[in-house]
Amino acid sequence: MRLQNKVALITGAGSGIGYHTALLFAKEGAAVAAVDVNEAAGQKTVQEIEAAGGKAIFIRADVSKAADCERMIQTTESTFGLLNVLFNNAGISHADDDDAINTSEDVWDLTMQINVKGVFLGCKYGIPALRRAGGGSIINTASFVATLGAATPQLAYTASKGAVLSMTRELSAIHARENIRVNALCPGPLRTELLMKYLNTDAKKQRRLVHIPMGRFGEAQEIANAVLFLASDESSFVTGANFLVDGGITSAYTTPE
């Protein structure tokens, strides 16, 4: 198993990429700390892992709050003894996110608090734990929009994911000689509840799909497979990467006819 004897903390583990990654990590031998602000969803993830014979705990945390992030790391270490993999995955895409003119300050601030500050706080408290374990892997969920602008305006989200990508690059350089790898996972558009709530009309969906060479939205399970690679020792020489899993969208981004 590719994560045998490793301990992984996953934020946003109650749904989407986080949920599928938690199940996959446990299947590959990791003990999983499943973190989510939604207690029912997070507990369900843990129950499914345990039912399959895996090891997991649920930790309720709001990643925009320092005390919650500090506690999620402490709880993971006190339960499992160490931390080897930190997947800073929790994030939002607000339905009212738009262009600069039409995006409210409240939507901007909330998006930055969760998507950017949440990753910062995860690293702030998680990196000392990885040092105590002798190194490890951090995966931060960014997005293909960190490389390209989005066809459908979502300025706060795009700016937040650009910040995650640049933060990841700097952290990777700072901690490379401590045996701590830091990579940005940049998914393309996925058929997840998060995106489907935002692309809430057929017209919005088609405007996004027209850019994807594969002609479909990705699945969260496909992204989980990429996270597994970045978490495992198979990616031992990979750090500071903009790890695109996007169905080809960044290689053929064109204006729809």
Task: Return the active site residues.
Answer: 157
Using DSSP's 3-state secondary structure scheme, residue 14 falls into coil
Q: Are strands 180-187 and 242-245 parallel, antiparallel or unpaired?
A: parallel
Structure tokens at 163: 């910040």
CB 121 within 8 A of CB 128: no
The secondary structure of 144-186, three-state, reads: HHHCCCCCCCCHHHHHHHHHHHHHHHHHHHHHHHHCEEEEEEE
Q: Are strands 55-60 and 85-88 parallel, antiparallel or unpaired?
A: unpaired
